[in-house]
Structure 1
Amino acid sequence: MFKINKGREKKFSIFKLMSIIIFIMLVGFTTNIYINSNYRETTSKFYLSFNNKDYSNAKSLLDSKLLLVSKNKLNTDLENYFTDVVNKVLIALSNSEINNSSALEVLKEVDSYNILGDSLNKLISVLESPKNTAVANTNSPEEYKPPKTNSAQNENSYLNLGILAFNSKDYSTAISYFNLVSKDTPKDYEMAQDYINDYYSNYKDYLLDSVEELVANKYYTKALEILSDYDKSKLTKDDITEIDNKINSIRQFREEYQGEDSEYTSNAILQEITPSNINTLSIASKTPYLIYLNLNKQMTYIYSGEKNNWSLLKEFSSSTGIEGEETPKGIFSVTGRGDWFYSPDYEQGGKYWVQFMGDYLFHSLPFNEDQSEIVDYTLGAPASHGCIRLEVEDSKWIYDNIDDDTKVIIN
């Protein structure tokens, strides 16, 4: 009798222990879902408030104690977000779309979060100084006259400002800054020369790279100004032909999209678009569909509806451009389609292609020349030469259903 009771107690203890373990796992799982959901919702509201310059509300959103659990992730996400904001401020400044005061307002607010480094402080200092107008006047960097000083601190500022401009793809301004770095600061001078040599060694690539985001955001005139003022002595005949073709392509884009309403641009390009925030961004499309590509998740989302009344219709696993051949970020529109193409250079082709900018397409997984075999099944990770690869049936769905002029957003 004693042995039977002991066995029952043992079984009961094991059952009780397993129940506790399962309960703890369920609580942990549920808590994790809640924390992640709260994190996404809070950060989305923060991005929206910051984009709308509702800075006090943005700061209050980050006071949530739940965000402390995800502090490392939050710092990383904020660093990426604020870096993008600073880059866009520099671009807007160089396009004369905003003045120094407006730029300083945003940059000082970013600086108040203590996320970005010392280079941001130096940039703010330069913008606050009436003598230092190079950043605000990046259309004519050669007109900039630096203060007559040889202080190491000032030379270091030129280097850091050059790096900031370089990372913002404002290469002409960056080179102007690097040329101001004195030989009296050997390490800074050597680094500046490395940037200058790298720039001229890869002149064509940097030239095209400098206009990519401008074209993506429809700043066609500014892009044409940059490309029309290049140094032919640093290019081969083939390079010059490629640049001239790019100029013609941008001119066509400008003619096609001139006068298009772009009120949604600033909000849509700065943050991840989700079913929970898409109807707060004033995104419009000329058709009942909208395509959104999330580069981090390697996912393509199809929304149906209209401005501020979009519903998620489909989502497709995708594969975008590899490093060095990245898929461009920006806001585009569908411009054409075809059922097959083949590239001898890459020895592969794609079915059911839909064009959104130049040679950039949505298309199927790559096939061999006779279309009998898929040569690369990679999806969910970058693997293409800039286009967006999809399952064959997914690319066919876009080919069959998405009309020209449908808005395409990639970020």
Structure 2
Amino acid sequence: MLKYFNNRRLIRNLIIIISTLIILSYAALCLKLYSKDLSTFKECFDNGDYIKANSIILNKGNFNIIKKIKIKKDLNTYFLNCIEQLEINENENNNEISEISREYILYTLREIERYDVVNSKITEIKDSMPMISSSRDVFEKAYKLFNDKDYVSAMKGLNEITPIYPEYLEVLDMKINCYSKIKEDTLDKADKLAKDKYYSKAISLIEDNLSLLKEDKELIDKVKEYEGEKGKYLSRKQKEEVQAVFNKQEVSAKQNINSFDIASGTNYLIIVNIKDQKTYVYKGSKNKWSLTKEFLCSTGVNGKETPKGTFTVQNKGDWFYTDKYDQGGKYWVGFKGNYLFHSVPFDKEQKKIVDTTLGKPASHGCIRLKVDESKWVYDNVPIGSKVIVK
């Protein structure tokens, strides 16, 4: 009987020993695997491969008992060392550290924060960093500006806030609201300006806000629309201006030119009357023009008429020659492409006048003047001056 109990005790002890060995072997294996995974994690995190590092913690060794026991403590120790090193680097290079380096520090802290082991320490560091405290002040100011409906100033402030700011999601939400409000307000004001024919002001208003609104396509299309409407409006006004000058009264009356709100880009204005074959040069400003010169001229013949409309002096030269017509002109002043004021035509050697006709159409589309009169226009009328041909 005693022998039976001794055998049972021996078997039980053997089972305990074997179980203990199995458990110890399993624990040793778990520790080895855990240590390997932890080492790989640290290597990835140190190298900035945060996605892979996070994947190791989330997916590796989830049934490893050693991981369940040690992971939080080991991460706490590791991350505290990381934070300490970041603080040392910042303090040593405080005067030289760039905004990019601070962004990197904050980004690293944010990655550490996702593991939820040293968050109180991270919060303490963030609160002490100028970038974060500055962003907090800017956000508070932007919030007040937003409530005061100063959306443009609020948006400018929000754009200065670092993406690492802890409440950056709130910043993004406010930016979306500012964007919507600025766009709505800009379109509303621009539409009112355009309805009153203030197209340039409407375009400038939109363009001033395009940088804030990230080159919004709808606003860009609206600018194109207003530019088109502005061009049509100016074209109509120019035609009306020409008609007013030539149809309501005679330009040669000298004083009545100032009844039609005609402006020029310079203090000179040229008006050409095709019917009378006269060129009038005025000096002054809007509604304060004085007739300075009156020239007999020659415009284009039938089929090669001088273009009618409102133009601007674009360029000048002292001589041109064309093989097509075997003649040239002195002291030319361009107002529309190849259409010029110039002297009566000369031969290629610039010595002989080949056609002295003035007072009736005789040119190929240009406006011919006497030599001394074309030189006066060349010498005195600056580029940018308005030219009206009717």
TM bucket, shorter chain: 0.3 to 0.5
Larger radius of gyration: 2
TM-score by length of 2: 0.38
TM-score by length of 1: 0.36
The structure richer in helix per residue is: 2
